[in-house]
Amino acid sequence: MRLVIASNNKNKVREIKEILGDRFDAVIPMREAGIELDVVEDADSFMGNARKKAVEAAALLPDDAVLADDSGLCVDALGGAPGVYSARYAGEGHDDAANRKKLLEALSDVPFSERNAHFACAMVLIRPGCGEINAYGRVDGKILFEERGENGFGYDSLFLYEPENLSFAEIDAERKNAVSHRRNALMLVLAALKE
């Protein structure tokens, strides 16, 4: 059985293939499976958005397994924001830089000791005749006062990974992927598949 990833992000597909590849005949992005989806992510949780994407893709690919995820940054001092709005925190049409600027402004009066945050990743795997596997991974850190590093994307340059005292943008992609929220969710999916 093929595993179709409800994404066309090459890095995401590669990471998933590394972890789940030996459980399926092939691991491919949805474009390679011949579908294009633009799912409206309007659920109030990461799991809700991931499930919505998985269900819509699975309806078009009834003979394949489908994996979808949704992820974002949650900041304790902001009541979990930006959360499911991480990609559009500064509003529709804004970019990563605008999102980071808005986050820094929202936290301008918050001391470092209270800048706890985590990246979250919800994942839903649907296999024909097997029901769903749901997984939730996270990685904890703190929000810096200014950007550090050149790697990564999104909020990586503001997210301090405390075990290494480096931002996610200062860590190379291989190291980041080894500790990321997506990897943690994938490992839970793999454990469920092994059961």
Question: Among residues 169, 186, 78, 175, which one has the least CA distance to residue 122?
Answer: 186
| Residue ranges in 61-180 assigned as alpha helix (H) | 96-106, 173-179
User: For the purposes of burial, counting CB atoms within 10 Å of the CB of 171, is it exposed (0-12), middle (13-18) or buried (19 or more)?
Assistant: buried
Q: Is residue 70 annotated as a catalytic residue, yes or no? A: yes
Cβ–Cβ under 8 Å, residues 29 and 5: yes
Distance (Å, rounded) from C-alpha 177 to C-alpha 153? 13
Catalytic member of 42, 70, 140, 172: 70
Residues marked as catalytic: 70
